[in-house]
Amino acid sequence: MDLFSRKATCNSHGQDSSYFLGWEEYEKNPYDVIKNPHGIIQMGLAENQLCFDLLESWLAQNPDAACFKRDGQSIFRELALFQDYHGLSSFKNALANFMSENRGNRVSFDSNNLVLTAGATSANETLMFCLADPGDAFLLPTPYYPGFDRDLKWRTGVEIIPIQCSSTNGFRITKLALEEAYEQAKKLNLNVKGVLITNPSNPLGTTTTRTEFSILLDFISRNKYMHLVSDEIYSGTVFNSSEFISVMEILKNKQLENTDVFNRVHIVYSLSKDLGLPGFRVGAIYSNDKDVISAATKMSSFGLVSSQTQYLLSSLLSDKKFSKNYLRENQKRLKNRQRKLVSGLAAMGIRSLKSNAGLFCWVDMRHLLISKTFEAEKHLWKEIVYDVKLNISPGSSCHCEEPGWFRVCFANMSEDTLKLALKRLKKFVDDGNSKRRYHISESQRLKGSTKKTMTTVSNWVFRLSFHDREAEER
């Protein structure tokens, strides 16, 4: 008899993938400016560490929130005992308002439609449990967050079918790609329950366009059982608020509020990226469907937010002056930091996808590949992790269909560390270039040698000239 469940013995948790392996290497040899200056710099972690000073200064000015006090009175007992899955209403109200502000107040959120969960990890899984049965499928545009393989599929039994996006059009979702994914699901006899997007996108760092929204809403309108889930966890990392269009805004603009589509669109949110508080495990589901809210609320019992944390954050987010200023500063700092990474990369001939949000860049290293294959991508990635000592995320771990793209995070380190990372990468690229120049002159010197050698050299030359061609096309 099997001792464990199938879930325990399969690897749908996805944690054997390279995304996590890079992490493990980092853990073995982590960079520290003083203690381990030659260690691996973590650039595979989409964290926002740029604004802790703002949070810390707020704490210094608001001692009550720190000490379980409200208006000078202790509320410790109340908080210690509070486990109502409806959540602290002051916190939900503050969160709903914060979400509105994040969207330039172009939409408003009703706190009764919010369900608190233990991080977006739990929110995404819970939504799958509510919307799909085991064996159903959700369509996801590639490349996508590697954690989705675990969050959406593992314990729920739901399948993911990729909507293949490519660099030819900046990785935008096309109607054709969506149809192809749907057909693919049908071929596999899977019942498609909807589409899940991340907006702004992880790993691309781009916001969903109105065109893409039209395609998606058209699609789910055709079939009454399909949902659109928009994971808006990065909504506060947009460099310019006006460029972020929430799916709720689209529904409002298209006047779909009184249609049934309105009830089949759901948002996932979290404070892990915008506020840089992943440790506090604050996630949320927002839906206009009362049945979804009801089911999700009951399920949240399996992962409620600590009352201590709810209270702290309700005070923080109710401070409108603070939240306005925070959002603005956060955006400014992220934008600056992104610029530094992008220009640093450009200076060594590496391009990135034009992005307007996120804590990372989607970097084009196709020209550094030995061949246009995922094996070559893995080889390059290993060189970058072990030799250059930067943990970045290979595109294949994000299910990208084209080899050579990498997600590089920029907001989880100091500016000096970023500079160092760029310096290391530049050395690697320069060394690579000079190796190529050396080998080209070598091949010219060896032109007159044996056929065998010639074959070897000309293969090598072929590979090199392939690289050179691409370099020119830049």
The reply on whether position 34 binds another protein by CB under 8 A is: no
Q: Which is nearer to another protein, 303 or 432 (CB)?
A: 303
Taking CB under 8 A as the criterion, the residue among 163, 220, 277, 425 binding another protein is: 277
Looking at residue 137, its amino acid is A
Query: Stretches 243-251, 272-280, 387-395, 424-432: which one binds another protein (CB under 8 A)?
Result: 272-280
Burial 241-274, CB ≥16 within 10 A → b, else e: beebbbbbbbbeeeeeeeeebbebbbbbbbbbbb
Q: How far is the CB of 63 from another protein (least distance, A)?
A: 7
Taking CB under 8 A as the criterion, the residue among 186, 210, 290, 298 binding another protein is: 298
Q: What's the length of the chain?
A: 474
Whole-number Å distance between alpha carbons of 240 and 75? 39
Would you state the structure tokens that stand for residue 81, as one six-digit string? 């005992």
The reply on whether position 333 binds another protein by CB under 8 A is: no
HSE of 339 in the Cβ direction (CA atoms, 13 Å)? 7
Residues 145-174 that bind another protein (CB under 8 A): 150-151, 155
Count CB neighbours of 340 within 10 A: 14
The reply on whether position 6 binds another protein by CB under 8 A is: yes
Taking CB under 8 A as the criterion, the residue among 28, 187, 222, 224 binding another protein is: 224
Greatest Cα pair distance in the chain = 90
Query: Stretches 217-225, 243-251, 337-345, 433-441: which one binds another protein (CB under 8 A)?
Result: 217-225
The reply on whether position 28 binds another protein by CB under 8 A is: no
Among 135, 212, 118, smallest CA distance to 169 is for 212
Residues 115-144 that bind another protein (CB under 8 A): 118-119, 121-122, 125, 129-134, 136
Among 366, 323, 300, 285, smallest CA distance to 114 is for 285
Residue located via tokens 């600056």? 336
Whole-number Å distance between alpha carbons of 474 and 472? 5
Taking CB under 8 A as the criterion, the residue among 187, 279, 416, 448 binding another protein is: 279
Residues 424-463 that bind another protein (CB under 8 A): none
Q: Which is nearer to another protein, 345 or 411 (CB)?
A: 411
Query: Stretches 202-210, 297-305, 346-354, 358-366: which one binds another protein (CB under 8 A)?
Result: 297-305
Specify whether 233 is catalytic: yes
Specify whether 273 is catalytic: yes
Whole-number Å distance between alpha carbons of 142 and 164? 5
Write down the catalytic residue from 153, 193, 273, 389.
273
Residues 307-326 that bind another protein (CB under 8 A): 307-309, 312
Q: How far is the CB of 251 from another protein (least distance, A)?
A: 17
Specify whether 231 is catalytic: yes
The reply on whether position 4 binds another protein by CB under 8 A is: yes
Among 379, 333, 349, 316, smallest CA distance to 60 is for 316
Specify whether 311 is catalytic: no
Count CB neighbours of 412 within 10 A: 20
Active-site amino acid positions: 145, 231, 233, 273
